[in-house]
Amino acid sequence: MYLRKGGCSMKIDKSLMSGSTTLLVLSLLSGEEMYGYQMITELARRSNHIFDLKEGTLYPILHGLEANGLVSVRERKSEEGRTRKYYRITRKGRKALDARKEEWVAFREQVDAVVNSASLA
């Protein structure tokens, strides 16, 4: 991997990432079809380089999503002649995404609730 290093140097504990990866990947795909490497660079860009997804993380996830019918794959030759695997979110995938979003919102709100309730005491 040769991702350009952005200016942001804040490191997020890896374990915080756990569980949100699928949400992020499906979110990316909900806008347009993308290929793996592109998701990594796009995710880094959109998150101000907070998320530096590893290939060893992404590809198994994509295969899992495909196995569960949440994304579909097709090989496409780009204008430059390079053949890539493009992933597209399915209807089932959009449902799963909605569910994940709800989960995320609930999780986020309750973490904040605990953190804030404590700082008030």
Partner DNA sequence: TAGTATACATAGATGGCCGATGGTTGTCAA
Partner DNA sequence: TTGACAACCATCGGCCATCTATGTATACTA
- Residue 5 gets which letter from DSSP? P
* Cα separation values, 46 from 62, 72, 82, Å: 19, 23, 25
- Asked if 94 interacts with its own copies (CB under 8 A), we say no
CB of 20 to its own copies, least distance (A): 6
Parallel/antiparallel/unpaired status of strands 71-77 and 83-89: antiparallel
Which of 43, 88, 38, 83 shows the shortest CA–CA distance to 66?
Answer: 88
Fill in the per-residue mask, 96 to 115: x = in contact with its own copies (CB under 8 A), - = not in contact: ----xxxxx-xxx-xxxxxx
44-61 b/e with 16+ CB inside 10 Å = b?
Answer: beeeebebbbeeeebeeb
Q: 93 and 71 in contact (C-beta within 8 Å)?
A: yes
Partner whose footprint covers residue 28, from DNA, its own copies, none (CB < 5 to 8 Å by kind): its own copies
Q: Which of residues 24-43 bind its own copies (CB under 8 A)?
A: 24, 27-32, 43
Partner whose footprint covers residue 48, from its own copies, DNA, none (CB < 5 to 8 Å by kind): its own copies
Which residues contact DNA (rule: CB under 7 A)?
A: 1-3, 14-15, 17-22, 35-38, 52-57, 59-63, 78, 80-85
Which residues contact its own copies (rule: CB under 8 A)?
A: 10, 12-20, 23-24, 27-32, 43, 46-48, 50-51, 100-104, 106-108, 110-115, 117-121
